[in-house]
Structure 1
């Protein structure tokens, strides 16, 4: 009997593992172990997860995953008062652009390509955050962009170094779906 793929239900174990891994990336945010920081900045675990998820998905799936994880990250790290920049915009754009790369066709699956994609997406995501800070005007514009340079470089370097270690197990998990 041939199952119609359109109407088949996803593997419950894979769905559960995907949800747990996404929440795990959020749980790692406050973790600061020796050697995991550069200039006081830690890896952007949710960004690494969104890139790993989006590599073999459609752009809309990448966008939805990024926005969802960004909203959850905002709920964890933003204070409850006033207007604050959102991680949802940067992670959503990163997920969408990563999926647009169509990595299967353009880039061979290896450690280096995943690290380069995460580096670029970290720069884009942090730049979108700096633009939001600039629009809100909570701090002087010069200070925002000076901090942006340091933060973006440290985040991009650390996230791209950790990305292959996160991507490979998740990729194997999602191949079994």
Structure 2
């Protein structure tokens, strides 16, 4: 028997609160999850290709911009095998060759960057925070530009003075800008790959 309130009216029944359950990646169909993963990988690569010749305010120093493809290779290689990092660097280097010039090939330098990044991260020498990633990108940009300069020298069709002037102008500017902008690309990719790693582990 309901006890009437002081107003003479019975107390209305409380409404049930329904909590909406957010759908996580673990609830996705494996096929759609694989499609989403590959879409993000391919989409981010093509975004880097589009950004490579683009000069936005704050992304240019001495008419040099960040090496977005190198940043992507580093972001990919820090948590993968040496073979996977090397292969990713070679593929992205070939794509850069298609946009610029295949002589000397960027596949050699980016492949070496992927190899070296995965190699030094295999025993986890460096922790994966923003500062560490920026430091890795800075060093790898210098390695890549040094390797590219050596390839120019070995090709024999350019003078040593030209190569040295190119190296001085490009290397430090590319390393500084690439390291500063590395977290912008690394953070969203790392968040996605960490979620994928958790889903695949269950």
TM over 0.5: yes
- Cα distance between partner residues in 1 of 2:75 and 2:135: 12
Q: What is the rounded CA distance, in whole Å, between the counterparts of 1:112 and 1:162 in structure 2?
A: 11
- 2:66 maps to 43
1:28 to 47, 51, 60: 51
Contact kept in structure 2, 1:103 and 1:109, CA below 8 Å = no
By relative contact order (CA 8 Å, sep 6+), the higher-ranking structure is 1
Larger Rg: 2
Matches within 5 A, 1:88-167: 88-102=107-121, 105-167=124-186
1:142 Cα shift?
A: 2.1
Preserved contact between residue 90 and residue 129 of structure 1 (Cα < 8 Å): yes
Q: Which residue in the other structure is 1:68 paired with?
A: 91
**Cα 1:103/1:118, change in 2 over 3 Å:** farther
CA distance in structure 2 between the partners assigned to 1:144 and 1:50 by the alignment: 25
CA distance in 1, matches of 2:80, 2:142: 21
State the alpha-carbon separation in 2 of the partners of residues 107 and 30 from structure 1: 31
Unaligned runs of 5+ in 2: 1-29, 197-202
Query: Deviation string for 1:29-62 (max 9, x for gaps)?
Result: 1111122111110000000000000010001100
Q: CA RMSD in A?
A: 1.7
Total equivalences in the alignment: 166
Residues 37 and 43 in structure 1, CA contact (< 8 A), matched pair in contact too: yes
| 36, 41, 58: which one aligns with 1:13 | 36
